[in-house]
Amino acid sequence: MVKKKGRMSRRNFLKTASLAALGLGFPAIVPASVFGQGKRPSPSNRIVMAGIGFGMMGLPNMESFLSKDEVQWVAVCDVDKKHLAKAKEIVDKKYGNKDCKTYTDFRELFLRKDIDAVSIAVPDHWHALLSISAARAGYDIYGEKPLTHDLAEGRALVRAIERYGRVWQTGSWQRSVENFHRAAELVRNGRIGKVIRIEVGLPEGHYDFAGTFGRDKIEPPPPELDYELWLGPAPYWPYCQSRVHMNWRWNMDFGGGQLLDWVGHHVDIAHWGMGWDRTGPVEIEARGEYPVGGVYNSPVRYWVEARYADGTPMIVAGGYPQIWDGTKWIGEKGWVWVNRGQFESEPTSLKNEVIGPEEIRLYKSRDHYQNFLDCVRSRKETITPAEVAHRSASVGHLAMISMTVGRKIKWDPANEKIIGDPEAERLLRRSYRKPWVLPE
Amino acid sequence: MRRITEKKTLIPGERRNGLEEDILTPAPNQKTDGRQHMNDHSYNIGLDFKPERRTNLGGSHPVCPDGRRKKESPNGDRPRFNQSFIGKGLACFIFILVSFILILPARSFSNVLSLQAAFADDDLARLEQVLRALEKFDHSQGEGPALELERIIFSLKDNPGKRVAAEKRLLQFFTSEVSRDARIALSKPLSWIAGHEAARVLASQLLEPEKSDPARYVLERIPGEEADNVLIEALDKAPAAVIPGIVSSLGHRRAKAAVPPLEKLLRRNLAPQVVYNAIEALGNIGGEGAIRVLSDYLKSGDESLRFRAVDALLRIADSEINNKNQGPAAAISDLLLKARLTPVQKLAAWKLKIMAAGENYDRELRLALKSGDEIAGQAAIGLIPRLIPQNKIAEYLGLFSGLPGSLEVQVAAALSYYPVTAARQFLVNLAEKSLWLEARTEALISLGKIGDDSLVEFLVRKSASSRGQEKNAARESLLALRGKSVDDKILEQLSSSPEPSIRNELLLAACERNIRESREYFLKEAANPSADLALVSRGLRAFGDIGLAEDLLKVAFLTEDEAFRDELAGIMAAWARQSARPEARSAYFRNLLGKETDPGRQAILITIIGKIGERNSLPVLRNQAKSQNLTIREAAIRALCDWPEVEARDDLLEIARTSLDLREKVLAIRGLVRLTASEKYRRPEAVVESLKEIYALCSRAEEKKLVLSVFPDFPCQPALEFCRVLVGDPEVGLEARTALEKISQRLNRQN
């Protein structure tokens, strides 16, 4: 028997305990628990958090966590001092003090032993390296989608999370929204019969998030930005405004265009409804249209045809009006379509059907951030663990490879290998600029 | 903000033929600026395109021939260069077509082959042209040349001859004096096609700081040992600045042959970055040699080295387990557990130790649970669902007794993967007796996940008797229990007249589980003076229908709670509105009203009729509004005030004008204001006239303020003037000023 004396602190418990990453199927139901209700937990019972990257999703993510009484935010980290100052200001304002520590280098932050969890919202090319480093440091992680920048990184990250027993939540928050849950549950319970085709509509083009389109002049990086660290493992590109904050997404060395930005949402939901959370397509063929001028090189319009082991095809398209934005499952007896704030079905009565007591119930979360915090305490899997995010991202990565080699590729989702196409196989992983190494 | 939608349309389907290619390819001697050239030609990645479907929808920043950015083309017009392109293309097409017609019939098969060779030359000519454009390339010029290069390489990659020629030319270009950006751009397509011959050419490039990274990018993707050898040889010759990159490439390639050279390097090079990268690379490579080298670092006094070495060994062990080589993994776990580890590393090492035992996990699992080490216990519990089959869990339950609270949470979660028959008693005990709130809560959650009807009573009792997160967990678990028998059990419990707190939990569960057969219990509960009215209302709304109206009316007639009576009226109205025949929705209640003599009951029926809002009922309400009985009259006026359509406006206006009863007058005015404010479809001036009319009927400041609050929703000059006049009014001056400001702002925005 384990002796009761000399028990470890909650902090050490959180940093070491885990039921996550068991490699098992999802539980039929894990009701959302209600931690954080009532009075604010005592400091020793709070989950201590830090954030990395505040140029885009980092701020809203942090603000959501700050609204939870059980969270104590202690540090912020960003390679841009302007972002850093803004993030610190928000935290300090929340707590009415000046205690939030700032870091420009994540390696210094990761030396801290008092942190339970980190929220990471950085450009895609940094996802794997930062997250693996965070797992090695013993932190649980709320990360953004797509899980990683290529397939090899994705598997490496999933393994690191498993190895160190960390809790991982992906920012694929649609799973915690009622209409997506309901749509997926209806499909999963066969309400539209056998699914014969899935259509996933994503955005097209490039969006000027930062208002820097056209600022393509090569110039020295601004003093507040550690550009060398911003580039990190990506190939060297000289600094220009239009390629850094927010709009990095349109360059394939830093992001994956609209396709990779959105597969983690609508393809993720498509997989959920089909029970494909831990697998991927067996064939994929994609074609894309690339920008004519400018500094971006990700496809602006794309058409992806994936086929899964049971023969079901899935179309993922951006810029094709015949494919509705969102996720549509078409079955032998009708269809279900879901998008943000929208939910339609054929027959229409399907929408109001109740899931019976004997039917499959999908993992339920009412609050994506709370689900993460609950799992940090219970050590269970979140609603979007790393493996699930890796599988939805795999559709985007494979599509990009297919676009590059210009042909259909065959994929072995169990062993994660491209079959019979050495050229395509070369594209499963990318190189890292020195001195960075991916610990695989 | 704006979107880029500018693009080239690439059509799927048949592969582009040589003829089309020729049309799209400018003559090799055509002197054009590189960027303009790029803009004159679509490029895609591995897909064919047809020029007639090429589109430019505007939005991006295409580059003009003079290098300036083109303005967006919001209407999606083609840029002018497309027109010139089409003209040239057409001329070229006609030329080739004529050539074909004249020459082809006279040509032999060998001549066709020569023609194909000419096309091959064209491909290489295009490559040449792009490379020329890339020589002084920097990324501010736009990605066109880089994308075009990628497209060309993949258009010829399936032709062995062309591929070799292209590879050779790319290597030549790579080694020449070109810009850094050009070399990096070129490294990508070169890495797709480069063979082992390229490895040797790139060897010297590896040693030059500016060329080393792009050379590595190519080498990392070349299959075979030659690339490994080139990288290994470079370790001895390379300047310090590039060694970390070369080391990381060896790790990337998992080059087994690199282990001894890396070991040698580590003996002579103590630069931190080299050592770090070598440790990480050895972790990727794995194998006996790597384990031996890394083991030495476990004793290092440098925490960062030790930290990396532990991670590298853990990764190697993971790979060994994946490859079914448990032996080396077990040896690593033993090694690690003797070293100084961080808590998370210790957890990983314990997990590894148990996993490395393979089929014999039982011994290690028990050892970990009995070790007295909480981290070992955590590792063991975390692995239980993965390792212990469902029929064996009972044998382990004894080991879970007396665990610290932190581990009880984990056990509770782990047991959710096992059948209720095995785990029920343990989880129920935990939920009842654990000193740790989180363990109790987690046990309840697990019971919900795996439980059956045998747990209904327990969970209901727990829901009724606990508080906070425990209560919520018990409720959620009651909802989560699966099976029709659970619903039956809930109904059975309801039928046994349980005490109120238990009954409420059962009714809540019935609501949440959508048990329609429970409606009679909700009806019964409605008559209970101490009932949870919100719950009753929810159940009746969800499961009731007009067939229950008679019974519910009895409750409504008897209750003295005015708010509850109003709620019941609302429920019955909602049931009535579900009728498929709109004109008959109120009929049942109108008939009853006709027969009823008690004014209180009449008032309730009038309220219901008002809430249904069926047009046929309006005359009835008008009639009742003139009743001599105060209760009936007030109910009728309230019903008119709540009327969903504006058709009740004249009735209310009349009451507001003529009633001598201030209470009725005020009700009518409020109803009028509500109805008038809803008329957004009318011209603002017309609505303002109506509001002025209502304002004139107001005798009290409260109603005047209410009317003034609506004016800003209809901004117009008359509204502005009306409010301006009232600004000096001591009674409503403040509200008039506020309204005035809002109207002004909205008018300004409109202008």
Angle between helices B701-710 and B662-677 (to 10 degrees): 10
A60 in contact with B, Cβ within 8 Å = no
pLDDT band of B551, cuts 50, 70, 90: very high
| Residue A418 distance to chain B (closest CA, Å) | 15
Closest to B319 (Cα-Cα) out of B295, B352, B289: B352
pLDDT, tens only, B448-491: 999 999 999 999 999 999 999 899 999 999 999 999 999 999 99
Instruction: List the Cα angle B655/B656/B659 in 5-degree steps.
Output: 60
Mean pLDDT value of segment B18-40: 30
**DSSP sequence for B107-122:** --HHHHHHHHHHHHHH
For B88-102, B157-171, B322-336, B704-718, which range has the lowest pLDDT when averaged over its residues? B88-102
CB contact under 8 A, A216 and B140: yes
pLDDT band of B136, cuts 50, 70, 90: confident
Residues in chain A with CB shorter than 8 Å from the CB of B181 are 237-238
pLDDT band of B644, cuts 50, 70, 90: confident
**Best of B80, B159, B347 to mutate (most A CBs within 10 Å, chain A):** B347
The conformation of residue B49, written as its DSSP 8-state character, comes to -
ipTM: 0.89
Torsion over CA: B408, B411, B415, B416 (sign): positive
Residues in chain A with CB shorter than 8 Å from the CB of B466 are none
Coil, helix or strand at residue A215: coil
Give the C-alpha separation, B403 to B413, whole Å. Answer: 14
pLDDT at A373 over 80: yes
pLDDT at B43 over 80: no
Tokens encoding A367 = 């609050």
For A21-25, A305-309, B602-606, which range has the lowest pLDDT when averaged over its residues? A21-25
Give the C-alpha separation, A182 to A351, whole Å. Answer: 8
Tokens encoding B537 = 């209302």
Backbone angles phi and psi of B374, in degrees to 5? -65, -35
Closest to A310 (Cα-Cα) out of A264, A275, A272: A275
CB contact under 8 A, B4 and A300: yes
Residues in chain B with CB shorter than 8 Å from the CB of A358 are 482-484
Give the 3-state DSSP-derived string for A312-372, with helices as H, strands as E and coil as C. Answer: CEEEEEECCCCCCEEEEEEECCEEEEEECCEEEEECHHHHHCCCCCCCCCCCCCCCHHHHH
Share of chain B above pLDDT 70, in %: 84
Give the nearest partner residue to A357 out of B249, B369, B486, using CB atoms. B486
Report the C-alpha dihedral over residues B619, B621, B627, B629, rounded to 10 degrees: 160
| Residue A17 distance to chain B (closest CA, Å) | 5
pLDDT at B583 over 50: yes
| Residue B459 distance to chain A (closest CA, Å) | 14
B68 in contact with A, Cβ within 8 Å = no
Give the C-alpha separation, B441 to B458, whole Å. Answer: 14
For A8-22, A315-329, B521-535, which range has the lowest pLDDT when averaged over its residues? A8-22
A296 in contact with B, Cβ within 8 Å = yes
Residues in chain B with CB shorter than 8 Å from the CB of A32 are 476
Nearest CA in chain B to A4: B404
Structural domains of chain A ordered from first start: 10-174 (3.40.50.720), 177-209+250-361+386-420 (3.30.360.10)
A243 in contact with B, Cβ within 8 Å = yes
Mean pLDDT value of segment B531-547: 91
pLDDT at A293 over 60: yes
Average pLDDT, chain B: 84
B2 in contact with A, Cβ within 8 Å = yes
Provide the pLDDT for residue A4. Answer: 36
Nearest CA in chain A to B193: A423
For B120-129, B226-235, B526-535, which range has the lowest pLDDT when averaged over its residues? B120-129
pLDDT band of B96, cuts 50, 70, 90: low
| Residue B177 distance to chain A (closest CA, Å) | 18
- Judge whether B337 and B368 are in contact, CB under 8 Å: no
CB contact under 8 A, B472 and A33: yes
Mean pLDDT value of segment A235-262: 95
* Residue A377 C-beta-side C-alpha neighbours within 13 Å: 23
CB contact under 8 A, B1 and A237: no
**Best of B35, B47, B57 to mutate (most A CBs within 10 Å, chain A):** B47
Task: Name the residue type at position B409.
Answer: V
How far CA B305 is from CA of A407, B198, B299, B310, B312, in Å, comes to 45, 35, 9, 9, 10
Nearest CA in chain B to A360: B482
Give the C-alpha separation, B279 to B265, whole Å. Answer: 11
Provide the pLDDT for residue B51. Answer: 27
| Residue A97 distance to chain B (closest CA, Å) | 30
For A165-169, A325-329, A358-362, B580-584, which range has the lowest pLDDT when averaged over its residues? B580-584
CB contact under 8 A, B70 and A357: no
Mean pLDDT value of segment B411-418: 94
B403 in contact with A, Cβ within 8 Å = yes
Coil, helix or strand at residue B57: coil
CB contact under 8 A, A37 and B468: yes
Provide the pLDDT for residue A133. Answer: 97
pLDDT, tens only, B358-383: 999 999 999 999 998 999 999 999 99
Give the C-alpha separation, A213 to A437, whole Å. Answer: 32
- At B653, which helix (H) or strand (E)? helix B649-658
Give the nearest partner residue to A300 out of B5, B63, B181, using CB atoms. B5
Provide the pLDDT for residue B20. Answer: 31
Tokens encoding B665 = 């007058």
Provide the pLDDT for residue A14. Answer: 52
